Each structure stands twice: as C-alpha cells, then as structure tokens.
Chains A and B, each alone.
Chain A
Amino acid sequence: MTAILSVRDLEKTFGSVVAARDINLDIPPQQTVGIIGANGAGKTTFINMVTGHLRPSKGTIRFEDRDITGRPSREITRLGISRSFQVAQIFPSLTVFENMCTAAAIARGADSMLARVTKPLRSPETEQEAEAAIALFRIEAYRDTRAATLPQGVRKLLDIAMAVAAWPRLLLLDEPTSGVSIEEKFDIMDVVMTALKHRKITILFVEHDMEIVARFADRVLAFYDGTVIADGPPTAALGDAQVQAYISGTKTRTRQPADA
C-alpha cells in the first residue's frame, strides 16, 4: 500500500532550539493515527509543518506522491489536507449554519477572485452541503445558534466540521477534546471518528488522554524532545518503557484498551 503521507528526515530549528528532528514516517490511507507527547515535545510543530504553517528547516513532506514541503497553507488545503485547532477557529458572530455555509462556499469555489466576486455565498449547493455537514456531526440542535454562545464541545465539533468542508483526504486534529469535560470527551470523539470514517479521511490527531488514544487510534506516534520515540499499534506504543517514563507517567495511569 502506498502512503498518503510520507515524511523524511524532517527537522525544524528556531535558532539553536531544535523543535523537531529526524522525523521519518509513512501513513497509509485511512489510517487513524494518535500523536502523543508532553508539552513542547514537537507534536504541534510537526502538524504545523505538514499543514504549511511552518516551513521545515530540513527534510521533505510528500502528500499523495507530491512534494508539499514548505508550500503555503492555503495551497496545501487545496491539495487535500485540512486541520482543526486546539482553540476552535470558528466565526463567533455567525450562526452554526452560516459558519458551515461560509466554509462550504470557500471550499467549493475556484481559487480565483473573479469567481469569488461573481458567485453568491448562499446557493442551494452550499446550503445543502452545510446541512449535510451539520447532520454528519450531529449538531442540528445548534443550527441557528450564534457560534459565540456554543458549548465548548459543540465549538470543537463545528471547528472540525468546517475543516472537513474542504473534502480533505488527510485531516490533522490538534487536541480535538481539549477544553471539553471528561464526560463529553468520548461522545465527541465517537461523533468525530464516525463522521470522518464515513468520508474515508486519513486522520492524525494529537491527544493527551491516553484512554482516548487507546480507544480510537489504529497507530500511535509518541513524540519526545522533537522526535518520534515510539511508533506502532496502541498497545505496543503505550506499553513502551520510554513512553511510560516520558509521556504517560506511571503504569497505573495508563489503562489498556480492554479496560477503557
């Protein structure tokens, strides 16, 4: 199977600080990859490089056999990689439906200013697509609520739904459950994973909650000090001695998937 994302010798330095180094990995299509690591381990730096927010100092990133290293984020989005954010990036002044219409209209439109000036934002197609996305992410109850007043969990879902509006093949989720109460976390992840698998999207998600990682990831990448120290199925990666020492803490805190 050919990889949808291939990363070779990726490195990012800020002056003398090495934020990422020696990252090598291949992600096959439709895999769900959990990324773990302590704060400052390089998880977000890695995501920022893949999505074009940061230009790597060294190495290459290939997406669907195309070199995307150092390309601007707008271009990368158009090629099929989207992302959600640790702090949900939505439009608080608009309703959920308007948020989705906006995302759908931008994603559908050709990347030319002329087309964007002549085509109306609201069209039957964009409205239909917005409704579908709202249903897919099960936020119908909030359809006409102003996004500023949404509960945290719904904000996160909306953020991800907007990222998906561009019909990406690869989606990077930066802490999809951060700021969400423990009771809600699993429900939200269930909705997200069901929706994304329905769209056959390859997923990379950063997560601090090991139970969530164990439950939803097919594969785990553990980051420490800017590089990947463990890469494998959840049981193996989470059971790794280094991972337990540096990331997940004591063994007692890490429950195995069977318990979760």
Chain B
Amino acid sequence: MREAIGAVMFVLLALAAPFLPAWIISLATIAFANALVVLGLVILWRAGLVPFGQALYYAIGAYVVALVGRYARITDVFLLVFLGAAVAGIVAYLVGLLLARYREIFFAMLSLAVSMILYGVLVKTETLGSTDGFHVESPTIFGLSPHGRDAGLVLFWLVLVFCAVAAFLVSRYFRSVAGSLAVPVRDSEIRLEFLGISVDRLIHLKLVIAGLLAGLGGALAALAIAHVDPNMAYWTTSGGFVFVTILAGAGSVAAAFVGSFVFELLRSVAVDVMPGTWQMILGTALLLTILFLPEGIGSLFDRLRIRLEKSR
C-alpha cells in the first residue's frame, strides 16, 4: 500500500517536472540525491547506530564519477552511477569489517575518523585539484547529451528513477528478516546471538547497504553539481546528513525524501534571507524539530493519520 502511494508520488513528480521553475528542479535534484544518503542513515539509525562519517561514501561516489569521466572518458550516465555506487559499496564492506564490531559513540567516532582520512588525502592530492576539486564532465544518456534546461530535467528524472528503485528496495528490506532486526539489535544483542544470528554480520550488511546508497547519492550529486571537491568528505557534510535524518525521522522511507527536500529548501531560503548568518536559521529549525517533533517530519504523517482515524 505504502509502496503504491510512493510510486504514484514519484510518477506525479516526474510528470509535473517540466512545468516547475528551474530552481526547484535543481534544488530537488540535489535534495533527492542527498536523500539516498539519508535513507542509508535511517537504516543504521533504526539499529541505534549514528555514523558521523557517511560523507566518506558520498565523496567516493562523487569522485569515482568525476575521475572515470575525466580519465576513462566514460560518459554513459548509468555506467558512471553504477561505478560510483559499487566502489562506495566495496569500501563500505572493507571498512565494515572493522566498524561492524563497534557501537554507540565508538562507532560514530571511528566512522568519522575514517572519513577524515579520505578528506586529508583529497586535500593533499594536487592532481585531484586539492581543496578546489575539479570539474565533472557532462554525462550522456543512451548516447544523447542534452543541453541547458533539458539537461537539468533529464538528470532530475534520472534521480527520480534511482530514488524510486532505492525506496522500493529499502522498503522491502525493512520487512525482511534482516531488515526487521534493527530494533532487536538495539534492544538485546545477546538474545539475537542466542537465537542463532550474528549481530555483527547484520550490522555489516546495514553498513554496506548504507554505503551503496551514499555512493549512489554522491554519484548523482556530482553529476548535478558538475563539480567535486574535498568538502564532500568533510565531517560537516556527514553532520549535515545526520541533521537531515533527525529532521526527517527514521519512521518511514518517504520521510527521508521529504526531509531532505525541506532541508535544501530551508537552506536556500536561509542563505537568501540571512546570507551571513544562515546557519542560525538551520540551527533553530533543528532545535525546534528536536523539541516539538522528536520523531521527525515523518511523524507528522502518522499524527495526521491517527487524527483522521479518530474523526471517522
């Protein structure tokens, strides 16, 4: 049922896109690319894990797209995005061998540390543009290279397709045995182990899925911005994703997309209204969310549904 509603929403968005102003399209493209990273965080969040280094995979996805486009001259958008996500997933698997053994603050700090290693490497590497980063070549889709407004629209549709597929798969995952075990992992690891399942392996799987999603998000973001720089791996980027996860709440798949869009919108407006001190507006928004919507924007839908059921 939820999946059907989600599918309808994606189709409606895709149909509405040509009639929307260009700034909304470009904002939504970035917002939905970032929402994929948030979706990965939601998976970990449900199991009580908060990584402060998810930008690692985001940056890997982005840099892989940029590097492959630049040196291998591959321009096919599907191949680029696939490579970005795959490399991020492989790195997530390798880092996960270590990270899956840690919990709570140790998990958060270790993930942060690993992401800062990549940041350091990127900043020091002159050939990768150091702190300036470098330009991402325009991709082609089915051999075509759209220009101007069309390019933005095509990329938005592409992001929608990836988001729809990811949302469907993650929602299926949440109902699977492995995906349903997030709350039990938080509640009692001992009981899970003595039921015959390895908690570390469960968490390792969650890390790989979250890494794949972050890599996919980073790859799409790199194409949308047409530029990559080390800030994509910086801890404030990771913190931003955690911010959006708090704003969205971990209650549903849809919340990640709505939350990410609200965040980007809020940031644009904030920068517009108070160019020097825009962070204050975001900070206030976060504070108000924690105070009045501790379960995030997603819980608004639940409250609405409960109210509708009561009035019936």
Contact = CB atoms under 8 A, between A and B. Distances in A.
16 contacts: A51-B194, A73-B194, A74-B198, A82-B194, A85-B190, A89-B190, A90-B188, A91-B191, A92-B187, A106-B177, A113-B205, A116-B178, A121-B176, A121-B180, A165-B195, A166-B195
A179 interface: no
Given A73-B194, A102-B195, 5 more contacts: A89-B191, A92-B187, A113-B201, A119-B176, A121-B179
Interface residues of A, number: 35
Contacts of B175: 120-122
The 3 A-B pairs of least Cβ separation, nearest first, read A121-B180, A89-B191, A77-B196
A122 to B, nearest CB: 7
A102 B184 contact: yes
Interface string B267-304: 00000000000000000000000000000000000000
A102 to B, nearest CB: 6
Contact of B181 (A82, A102, A163): A102
B183 A93 contact: yes
Interface of A: 51, 73-74, 77-78, 82-83, 85, 89-94, 102-103, 105-107, 109, 111, 113, 115-122, 159, 162-163, 165-166
Contacts of B183: 91, 93-94
A165 to B, nearest CB: 7
B63 to A, nearest CB: 29
A115 to B, nearest CB: 8
Contact of A111 (B181, B186, B191, B196): B196
A171 B179 CA distance: 28
Contacts of A73: 193-194
Nearest to A94: B183
Contacts of B195: 77, 102-103, 106-107, 162, 165-166
B192 interface: yes
B165 to A, nearest CB: 16
Contacts of A165: 195
A40 B201 CA distance: 33
B176 A74 contact: no
A178 to B, nearest CB: 16
B121 interface: no
A82 B195 CA distance: 8
B179 to A, nearest CB: 7
B15 interface: no
| Central interface residue in A82, A89, A103, A165, by most chain B CB within 10 Å | A89
B20 interface: no
A107 B201 contact: no
Contact of A166 (B176, B188, B196, B205): B196
Nearest to B177: A116
Contacts of A118: 176
A119 to B, nearest CB: 6
B24 interface: no
Contact of B197 (A85, A89, A106): A106
A146 to B, nearest CB: 11
